[in-house]
Structure 1
Amino acid sequence: MSEIVHKYRVLIVASHPVQYAAPLFKLMAKHPQLDIKVAYCSLQGVKAGFDAGFGVEIAWDIPLLDGYSWVEVENNSPKPQLGNFFGLINLGLWNLISKDNFDAVIVYTGYTYFSFWIAAVATKLTGKKFLFSTDSSGIEPRNKKRWKTWLKKMLLPLIFQLADIVLVTSTPGQKTVRSLGITEQHIALTPFVVDNSRWTSQADQVDVKTVRKHWSIPENGNVILFCAKLQPWKRPQDVLKAFAKANVPNSYLVFAGEGLLREELEAKAETSGIKDRVRFIGFVNQSELPSIYRSADLFILPSEYEPFGVVVNEAMLCGCPVIVSDKVGAGYDLVRHGKNGFVYPCGDIDGLAKIFKEILPDHERLQKMGNAATERMQSWSPKESIEAIVQALEKSKY
């Protein structure tokens, strides 16, 4: 006699379609224990919009709304925008949550939006299970203002106690939520993932010789890749300084991304005498990223503030070993120092240059580390993340 499988009806509230989350929703829709609907507070990402971090208008070029049930909830904000508390005021969430018979509501819209609180109150008042996700790996804010840290210590325990289960995306996030007084029973680690199969399959089709020719880089060159917003907290200037200091023969540095530091970096490359070995290729959309990662020998994310850093997933899936600062959340779960990448103290230019000198000329070791990077990602995949969500729903019943 076959066992009866309970199917959870789940409403997922999301601020907007995200290139990492949409493939996960598509896979969740196929899970035998899940019946999901996604409520979007905005369709920015599908529709072109200005991204303040990149400094350009973007729309992602992969399907974000296919393969799962979704609805756009009208935004009643007088000034609709992402990144502002009153930029998302989706009053329709109240009726959607209170009138439908969902078992649980999972909110991916942060508590820094008004719509989070609409969803939270509606869920609690109607007796449904309330789960929400946080990608935080610490409580220190990006601008490092002490009053914000103090305020978070006061308020976050109260906010997290609203949830039946807090979904965290990394081991540091798990430790942070636990340190705020939330018990293990009310925490679930749901790995921050991308669509692993898409990344690996597309990476396998890349013609590295053609890509490097487009970059005007020799096929046998040693290529370091920085792929992120050119913003101060990402510290792209550290990579440039360390690259110049290391001065490894036949080495090249590629910056993929846009942001307010681009002109400064271009000027610094020229004054440092390395302009001919540095490439700025601008913003790269999702469909083109696998070719960027696969054509590099080494990926670097030197951020001083990075709750996770899902670009690390992308690079590793494309067979590229990684270097991350000790402020990058992904480093704790994904990077094995000296095996599939390196972790160094944030801001340590000399230390970073030393790593460049050590690893860049050693192509055999780079290849082994790249293979180890791909292998690591086999157990950090959508499968583990979705199963963790299902287990969280199971826990929330008790």
Structure 2
Amino acid sequence: MPRMSSDADLPPPAPDRPRVAVLAYAPTPYQLHLARRLSVEIPEAEFCFLYTDEPPDQGWSLSIPAGINAVEFRGGKPLSGTGRLSEQPRFFRRGGQIIRWIRDNRAAALVCYGYNDAGRLRIARWCRRRRVPFFLAADSNALLDNPRGVRRLLKRAVVSSFLRCASGVMVFGRPGAAYFAHYGMPEERAYFVPYEPDYDALAPRDPAQDRAVRESRGLTAGRRRLLFVGRLLALKRIDLLLAAFVAIADRRPDWDLVLVGDGPLRAELVAAVPPALTSRVIWLGFEGDPAALGSIYRACDVLVLPSEYEAWGLVVNEALANRLAVVTSHVVGAAAHLVRTGLPTEGANGRTFQSGEHRSLAAALLEVTEPGLVDAYKANSPGILAEYRALADPVAGMRKALASVGVLHGR
């Protein structure tokens, strides 16, 4: 079924094929990959994906793949969950539009991403009154949950209001389950339904392609490389990474730093690199081709994600899939499952460091880049990723959640 406007009605659902509505913000590569998997791998349910926002301006070339039922409720700026309090009535009214769609198209369950606008809370309460199973989905991370004062009270009131309406929550892993447990959701009702990369699109295909990408990006043979992938924003703490690289550069003369991504801080960050190291800090800009991005990963050795705020960090998944070691700040959600510390002989594949401390980051980089150890760290990454994917397969998690409320009748 092609993309539909919000006023389009579907044929009634088949008696033996319940309709499941998934309320998302915007189509992104990770969201569309999940939509494709759910639509194909759970054929006994009919999934419809309801989008409330335009895709973020990150240079992606996106289209809704065939076979995905997409319904648009887009309302321009501000995006859902943003803007002033005075703009919440608009979100509330849009919530009414979505409720009418759910009712008129006989959705048997709703999965709602996010809990930060009045429209979504209106929908949650309607589902509770009408006994439509409601699942709250988010990449929330207990390590980042530190509001103070009045904000803490307001947040508890809002999150608890959603959870009182919810049959369960859908999270990326243990940090998400712990987050919602803090607000009263039993951990046995937390289902692992994470976003994930399209691993096949990142996988190696042709050594000649990898070589061509390396050469075109100036990634010459014989060098070791640290890698950052992400937007150049303040919360990503690339400044911290640059400071740590400067601190270790003399002790690791065969290592370079590669940065993939763009953002408002690029000029400032480029200017911060000491002249003696400009040839060893390589700025590649945004990379929208997954195959080329996979080649860049494979040209590097250690992913570094120094963010001070990172609910999950799917670039960590991507790095492990391409056999990189990893260093992240301690607040990165993915680290709970995907970064193991210690010695390589103990199964380790990297380090975490105290968020915001460049000396702690520099020490972690020195340990992971130790000659004779880095390749052993790298070798452990694919197995760690495989364990997480077995634990947190989103299709299995969605099946389990829908079965818990009788939508899939335990299948």
Q: What's the TM-score bracket when you normalise by the shorter of the two chains?
A: 0.7 to 0.9
Check conservation: 1:139, 1:149, Cα contact below 8 A: no
Q: Is the 8 A contact 2:192 2:393 kept in 1?
A: no
- 1:366 is matched with which residue: 374, 377, 381? 374
Give how far 1:190 is off: 2.4
Q: Which amino acid aligns with 2:72?
A: E
Q: 1:10 aligns with which of 10, 20, 39?
A: 20
Question: Structure 1 residue 101: deviation in Å?
Answer: 2.1
* 1:48 aligned partner: none
Give, in whole Å, the separation in 2 of the partners of 1:208 and 1:348: 35
Give the structure 1 partner of residue 322 of structure 2: 318
Q: Normalising by the residue count of structure 1, what TM-score does the alignment of the two structures yield?
A: 0.85
2-side partners of 1:395 and 1:206: how far apart?
A: 48
1:394 — aligned with what? Answer: 403
Alpha-carbon shift at residue 281 of structure 1 (Å): 1.6
Q: Distance in 2 between matches of 1:27 and 1:356?
A: 36
Q: Given the alignment, which residue of 200, 214, 217 partners 1:215?
A: 217
Q: Distance in 2 between matches of 1:352 and 1:139?
A: 18
Whole-angstrom CA distance in 1 between matches of 2:287 and 2:307:
19
Q: CA deviation at 1:222?
A: 1.2
Task: State how far apart, in whole Å, the 2-side matches of 1:372 and 1:200 are.
Answer: 17
In the alignment, is residue 300 of structure 1 matched against residue 308 of structure 2? no
Matched ranges for 1:323-338 at <5 A? 323-338=327-342
5+ residue gaps, structure 2: 1-14, 343-347
8 Å contact from structure 1 (residues 98, 122) kept in 2: no
> Conserved in 1, the CA contact under 8 Å of 2:33 and 2:197?
yes
Q: Counterpart in 1 of 2:166?
A: 163
**Any idea what SS the aligned residue of 2:142 has?**
coil
> When the two structures are superposed, what TM-score results if normalisation uses the length of structure 2?
0.82
Q: CA deviation at 1:201?
A: 4.7
Residue of structure 2 in register with 1:238 after alignment:
240
1:130 aligns with 2:134: yes
2:23 paired with 1:20: no
Structure 2: distance between partners of 1:6 and 1:293 = 44
Spell out, residue by residue over 1:280-316, the C-alpha distance to the aligned partner (whole angstroms, 9 max, x if none): 1222225332122121111100111111111111111
Bigger shift: 28-37 or 83-92?
A: 83-92
| In 2, Cα distance between equivalents of 1:146 and 1:277 | 45
Deviation at 1:388, TM superposition (A): 1.0
User: Aligned AA for 1:81?
Assistant: L
Is contact 2:214-2:296 (8 Å) kept?
no
Residue 159 of structure 1: how far off its partner (Å): 2.2
2:269 alignment counterpart: 265
> Does the alignment pair 1:37 with 2:48?
yes
> Residues 255 and 280 of structure 1 are in contact (CA less than 8 Å); yes or no, is this contact kept in structure 2?
yes
SS of corresponding position for 1:243: helix
**1:361, distance to aligned residue in structure 2 (A):** 5.3
**Which stretch shows the higher mean deviation, 84-93 or 178-187?**
84-93
Q: 1:67 matched to which residue of 2?
A: 67
Check the 8 A contact 1:193/1:380 in 2, yes or no.
no
How many residues are aligned here?
A: 376
Root mean square deviation of aligned Cα: 2.8
Q: The residue matched to 2:393 in structure 1 has which SS?
A: helix
* 1:344–1:298 Cα change, 3 Å: same
Counterpart of 2:307, as a letter, is S
Unaligned runs of at least 5 residues, structure 1: 46-50, 52-56
**Matched residue of 1:29: which SS?**
helix
1:273-292 counterparts in 2 under 5 A? 273-287=276-290, 288-292=292-296
Aligned equivalents of 1:227, 1:124: Cα separation in 2: 41
Aligned to 2:364: 355
Cα distance change on mapping 1:6 and 1:378 into 2, 3 Å: farther
Residue in structure 2 matching 1:97, options 82, 97, 102: 102
Using the alignment, how far apart are the partners of 2:116 and 2:280 within structure 1?
42
Per-residue Cα deviation, 1:72-95 (whole angstroms, up to 9, x for no partner): 23x356x45355254753643122
* Contact 1:222-1:250 at 8 Å conserved across structures: yes
Tell me if structure 1 keeps the 8 A contact 2:224–2:256.
yes
Cα distance, 1:292–1:146 mapped onto 2, change above 3 Å:
farther
- 1:84 corresponds in structure 2 to 82
- 1:29 maps to a residue whose letter is S
3-state secondary structure, aligned to 2:313: coil
In the TM superposition, residue 64 of structure 1 has moved relative to its aligned partner by 4.0
SS in 2 for 1:216: coil
Asked whether the 8 Å contact 1:227–1:255 carries over to 2, the reply is yes
Equivalent residue for 2:4?
none
- The residue aligned with 1:54 is none
Question: Do the aligned partners of residues 264 and 345 (structure 1) sit closer, same or farther apart at CA in structure 2, a change above 3 Å counting?
Answer: same
Deviation at 1:173, TM superposition (A): 1.2
Percentage identity across aligned positions?
25
Is 1:340 equivalent to 2:342 in the alignment? no
Measured after TM superposition, the shift of residue 393 of structure 1 is 1.3
